[in-house]
Amino acid sequence: MKPSEPQTSSMKSRGGPARILNAFRYSLQGLGHALRHEAAFRQELLIVVPALVGLWFLPVSRAEQAILLISSLLVLIVELLNSAVEATVDRISTERHPLAGRAKDLGSAAVLLAVLQMLACWALIAGPLLLQAR
């Protein structure tokens, strides 16, 4: 980068209340895009939302509730980031390329790890309670 080149994008806003409102609006648009266009996000919502509703009925500590909540939301967060990577790769080119495949595979691996850690948290915290109830 040359010293005369700007350090930030001209697309970035300067700040203030308008920036906060715009960021919130863009975030809601992103969630809307995920709901409309990302089947994996919708499928994960079908698991996470009922689990989080059920969470409030589990006799666990606040700390355990926080762990279950955070681990569940992390799956959705990582899925959104994976979808962003996939959309960016597809925007650049739909041709098969090893680096494009690697980017998509790495995003998918991140989702898998997030799902596995969520399952581990739920199994360790809620599993014994569910087995006791039987």
pLDDT (tens place) for every residue of the chain, 134 residues total: 566 666 666 666 678 899 999 999 999 999 999 999 999 999 999 999 999 999 999 999 999 999 999 999 999 999 999 999 999 999 999 999 999 999 999 999 999 999 999 999 999 999 998 788 77
**Interatomic CA distance for residues 91 and 37, integer angstroms:** 15
Catalytic: which of 5, 38, 44, 79?
79
The sign of the torsion formed by the CA atoms of 24, 28, 34, 37 equals: negative
Q: What is the CATH number of domain 39-133?
A: 1.10.287.3610
- Predicted pLDDT of residue 20: 94
**Interatomic CA distance for residues 28 and 94, integer angstroms:** 27
* 79 counts as catalytic: yes
- Tally: H helices and E strands in the chain: 5, 0
- Looking at this protein, which amino acid is placed at residue 70? I
Whole-structure pTM value: 0.86
